[in-house]
Amino acid sequence: MTQPLELGEIPAPLLVFGGPYSNLEATRTLRREAERLRIPAQQCVCTGDLVAYCADPQETVAEIRDWGVHLVMGNCEESLADGAADCGCGFSAGTSCDLLSKEWFDYASRRFDDATRAWMGALPRRLQFSFGGVRVAAIHGGATRINRFLFPSQPDHDFAVELAEIDADLVLAGHCGIPFTRRIDGKLWHNAGVIGMPANDGGRQCWYSLLQTTGDGAININHHRLDYDAESAAGKMVRAGLTGGYHRALLSGLWPSLEVLPAAERLQTGRTLDPGVHRLSPQG
């Protein structure tokens, strides 16, 4: 992995989110929520994949750039910057996820000029900063591979391999689309989920998280749902011809394909998620 972008100290609270996924309605709603909470852009981190399934790729990128949040490169930005033929999501060739991704990637790829692609290609692959006295890193998928899927049910070893590559006690990651937090040998791996697509739990809401410092020097991590106008976002997809299945997922809360999921996550399909509240103390 290339050298991280050092941000210095970021004060509390910290808002973390992933995967805007070309969903302009969700992105604007989260921005308004940050403003309501009086959290400035300099205290917001996005874990990448601005562009994906939904109908407003250009507009979503413009919204994020105007907002000015800290941002890491996702595999979708990497692929668009490189002029690649697919999203680089890591789907197995010929699977439903792979075939469905071709529709939206072709749609999105036609809508960016060279200047925007160059901006995507210059995004950092890792952010490093201090928060509440703790060393924090933000990445997209894994430290070893930008499109590595890491789901909540995976063994400790999978996370330990990635953590060994990162100089941090708290890692903010994305890519998998499901919110969760795991503790591995005193360190935390935190995925805020995504704002552009439901978490396959049967609800329309998107997900983000808030990190707050406490009086005793600890950090509390809270996962949050956020309601937004999913009807409008889905309607735009239909009008754009993006009808492979993700337009229905915005309304049903269920993914059109489960092939990428481990067995445990497949069994959770349609069940309400409770990622819990997590705490990182000075002692780990």
- Of 80-84, 132-136, 138-142, the poorest mean pLDDT is in 80-84
Backbone angles phi, psi at 155, to 5 degrees: -65, 155
Angle, to 10 degrees, between the axis of helix 24-36 and the axis of helix 57-67? 20
Q: Minimal CA–CA distance to 242: which of 108, 98, 109?
A: 108
Q: Report the pLDDT averaged over residues 40-60.
A: 98
pLDDT of residue 102: 78
Task: Report d(CA 227, CA 7) in Å as an integer.
Answer: 31
The CATH number for 5-280, chosen from 3.20.20.210, 3.60.21.10, 3.40.50.1220, 3.40.50.2020, is 3.60.21.10
* pLDDT tens sequence across 149-180: 999 999 999 999 999 999 999 999 999 999 99
Q: Which residues pair with 131 in a beta bridge?
A: 134
**Cβ-Cβ contacts under 8 Å for 11 (sequence gap 6 or more):** 43
Look up the pTM and report it: 0.95
**pLDDT interval class at 79 (50, 70, 90):** very high
- In this predicted structure, the answer to whether residue 99 has a pLDDT above a threshold of 80 is no
Q: Report the pLDDT averaged over residues 40-55.
A: 98
* pLDDT tens sequence across 112-124: 999 999 999 999 9
* pLDDT tens sequence across 216-268: 999 999 999 999 999 999 999 999 999 999 999 999 999 999 999 999 999 99
Q: Report the pLDDT averaged over residues 175-196.
A: 97
pLDDT of residue 282: 74
Asked whether 42 and 234 are in contact (CB, 8 A), the reply is no
Each domain of the chain, given as residue ranges in start order, spans 5-280
Q: Hey, which bits of 100-251 come out as E strands?
A: 127-131, 134-138, 170-173, 180-184, 187-191, 206-213, 219-226
pLDDT of residue 245: 93
Asked whether 127 and 45 are in contact (CB, 8 A), the reply is yes
